[in-house]
Structure 1
Amino acid sequence: MAIVHDADRPFVTNEVLIDCIDKAERNKVALAVIPSEETMYIIDNKGFLADSIGKDIIRTGQSPFGSKLTIMHCILNSFSKEELIKPMTISQLYIKRKIPISISNGSKKIFKFTTKDDLLYAEYIKKSSGLGGKI
């Protein structure tokens, strides 16, 4: 079993990791996700709303991602070096090869550090939890 976890989500919990591993062992591949709280819109080439996707079928992908090691090896070797250096998630590689990905339970606590405000929020969480020190 191989588990991929992006470093910009430091608050992953044991429960999320265990669920992802369990789902990947049962279904070969899994990704931690959470339900979307927002309606997503598709924009046409003129910049207008063209369609919407309901919250009931949208999930926000997180991390970790789990896969049987043999499947991951095959997937990674099926792409050229040029394709692999393009920015994308590992789950997108599986989707491109039409490999089914089961979903595991993510958590709203596993937020992604993308802005300075995220770092301030993480510092607050760390202080509030009694962990101390700097992030």
Structure 2
Amino acid sequence: MWALIGYHGATISSATRLTATLWDQRDIVTVGDVTGDGVADLIYRAPDATLQLRKGIANASGSGVDLNSLASGANSAGGQDITYGSSGWSRASIPHIIGTPDVTGDSVPDIWTVRADGSVRLYTGKTDVLTGAGTEIITARSYWKTRIAIG
């Protein structure tokens, strides 16, 4: 897993390798301040079909996140990843998932999905645990099933 810092449209200021652990069975959903403490956190889809929250720790200057805190659960605030979405988040049931900045006005990043049936859903972010089935924005449509990505 790598952090690409300072994207300017055609260039990246720096690339930092966070971990050599394979992430091929995980999907990064979003990086943003989920917990409301002013520090970036990481939400990812785990191989067990859950969403996991990794809480970031502020860097020494207090102006951002210490990237090492996002490298592993053991390095994060609290020393472990937290289950953010409990089940049903498999690639088979939700082929496409993307986190976005807050769209609901509560200052917490939100998650958009395309489900296997072709429905598009919005999951409003929570500071602790994501609950519920999300709000269906577009009912099942076959054309969403053939898309390769969203975002």
Q: Which of the pair has more CA radius of gyration?
A: 1
Q: TM-score under structure 1 normalisation? A: 0.25
Higher helix share: 1
Q: TM-score under structure 2 normalisation? A: 0.24
Higher strand share: 2
